[in-house]
Structure 1
Amino acid sequence: MEKNNIKQIIRPTLKDQIYEALKNAIVNLELEPGQRLNDNKLAEQFAVSRTPVREALKRLEDEGLVEAFPGSSTRVTELVEEEAKHAFTVVAALHALATKLAVPKMTDRDFMRLEEINRVLAEALERKDSNEAIEADEQFHQVFLAVAGNVEIDKALERIIPKIHRLTFKKFDSVDSLTSINQHGDIIAICKKGDKEQAAHLVEENWLTLGRLLSDESV
């Protein structure tokens, strides 16, 4: 029997779909910190049995986005800004590492993609569309992750990023995000020169700057 290189398509399971839907709702604050989650009602809402809902909630609990109280209820974890501040330092370091791995492999196409995303970010900020701006900022850094192709970095970020995004959605409108656009421009320029060490430093500082702005008591 002949072998072929066709990869099997992996379809997301019900629990994965429910997990993603709930995680997104928690991150963008549609489900507010402290809000109770009833697995029966969620099962009705998703038109599924309680099993995949409970499995999704358990995964969210493992990631610190919900907390379960024995014999009581499950709630969205409170947003603790001090924890988010600590998360920023880890995320900054991981993105810096991804950048260092990515720069030597980047092409003109990647640079054009970064420039286009930064334009989209600037336009979103001009329209005061915080959702699109946050998405554009995320896409900017995803370029480096995709080129780096390091699965372990991706896995580590997947567990930490949601904690940061909740704080971002809460305070993004109050932050002067023009700083990020300028920093992105500097990052692109250095990447074109092939200086992976400086590019990694600028990416790390970009994340730490956002963390400082979002954690500012005056914001």
Structure 2
Amino acid sequence: MPIPPTSPGVDRSLLRDDVYRRLRDAIVDGTFAPGEQLRDLELAAWLGVSRTPVREALLRLAHGGLVSARPGRSTVVSTLCARDVRDARDVVAAMHEVAVREAVPVLGEADLAAMRDANRRFAEAVAAGDVETALRVDDELHGVPVRVCGNRALATVLEQFTPTVRRAERLRFGSLRGRTSVTRHDELIRLCDAGDAEGAAGVAYDTWHSLPSEEP
């Protein structure tokens, strides 16, 4: 397994959740490619931690479908399977639908302003072909209702299944198709501002459910 030449500079007191997020992000952004074998000893050396949090992270990644783990044998990065993407997309869309429905009645002006600002930066990133920034600010925008609704179970489900969807999104936001999300975001924000919880929830669901389930 080729290890990236630069160290991520992780503190040795790194929490297991941070190890999980580092490895998850390395898979989503393509640092570790589909089919690549992941060795816990090498990953532990890369992150500067013991093997225990790495093993725990790999188990969590397996539950989310990002790696395929065979106890006592090997762990490899999963391929972008259309069925897995479709299943994860359906779950993620449903969770965002619930989050928006619960959040709309309590969204404040600051929350709406944060969503508008995120969509402005999202549009700029998509126009520039900046996939990394587009994904980051898309997370910011959709994260506002998730945070405001305060449903921890919902947030946990999203953390498990969103990474699989994000791998497909990287392909989408690198093309002109990603620009349709800007319009959907505008409509989502408009309905949230109008207090239309059902309408906004429907747009949130459609936004996520419109993502492709196969590689182009």
TM tier, shorter chain? 0.7 to 0.9
Pairwise CA distance, 1:69: 2.5
Q: Is the 8 Å Cα contact of residues 85 and 214 (structure 2) preserved in structure 1?
A: no
Greater Rg over alpha carbons, structure: 1
The ranges of structure 1 where at least 4 consecutive aligned residues each deviate by more than 6 angstroms after the TM superposition are none
**What's the counterpart of residue 189 of structure 2?**
188
Letter in structure 1 aligned against 2:34? P
Q: Name the SS of the counterpart of 2:177 in structure 1.
A: coil
Q: Extract unaligned runs of 5+ from structure 2.
A: 1-12
Q: What is the correspondence of 1:31-180 to structure 2 with a 5 Å cutoff?
A: 31-180=32-181
Q: Name the SS of the counterpart of 2:20 in structure 1.
A: helix
Q: Extract unaligned runs of 5+ from structure 1.
A: 1-11
Q: Name the SS of the counterpart of 2:33 in structure 1.
A: coil
Task: Summarize the Cα distance change of 1:216–1:70 in structure 2 as closer, same or farther, 3 Å threshold.
Answer: closer
**What's the counterpart of residue 215 of structure 1?**
213
Pairwise CA distance, 1:137: 1.3
**What's the counterpart of residue 205 of structure 1?**
206
Task: Summarize the Cα distance change of 1:14–1:93 in structure 2 as closer, same or farther, 3 Å threshold.
Answer: closer
Pairwise CA distance, 1:77: 1.5
Q: Deviations over 1:19-43 (max 9, x none)?
A: 2111110111211111001122122
Q: Is the 8 Å Cα contact of residues 62 and 68 (structure 2) preserved in structure 1?
A: yes
**What's the counterpart of residue 8 of structure 2?**
none
Q: Name the SS of the counterpart of 1:176 in structure 2.
A: helix
* Percent of aligned pairs sharing the same letter: 38
Q: Is the 8 Å Cα contact of residues 96 and 203 (structure 1) preserved in structure 2?
A: yes
User: Aligned partners of 2:64, 2:128: CA distance in 1, in Å?
Assistant: 34
Bigger CA drift: 67-76 or 156-165?
A: 67-76
CA RMSD after TM alignment: 1.8
Bigger CA drift: 62-71 or 110-119?
A: 62-71
Q: Name the SS of the counterpart of 1:83 in structure 2.
A: helix
User: Aligned partners of 2:42, 2:73: CA distance in 1, in Å?
Assistant: 15
User: Aligned partners of 2:107, 2:48: CA distance in 1, in Å?
Assistant: 44
Pairwise CA distance, 1:16: 2.6
Pairwise CA distance, 1:74: 1.2
Pairwise CA distance, 1:162: 1.1
Q: Is the 8 Å Cα contact of residues 79 and 166 (structure 1) preserved in structure 2?
A: yes
Letter in structure 2 aligned against 1:215? S
**What's the counterpart of residue 21 of structure 2?**
20
User: Aligned partners of 2:15, 2:193: CA distance in 1, in Å?
Assistant: 43
Q: Name the SS of the counterpart of 1:215 in structure 2.
A: coil
User: Aligned partners of 1:51, 1:105: CA distance in 2, in Å?
Assistant: 41
Q: Is the 8 Å Cα contact of residues 16 and 56 (structure 2) preserved in structure 1?
A: yes
Q: Is the 8 Å Cα contact of residues 103 and 194 (structure 1) preserved in structure 2?
A: yes
Residue correspondences, number:
204
Q: Is the 8 Å Cα contact of residues 81 and 167 (structure 1) preserved in structure 2?
A: no
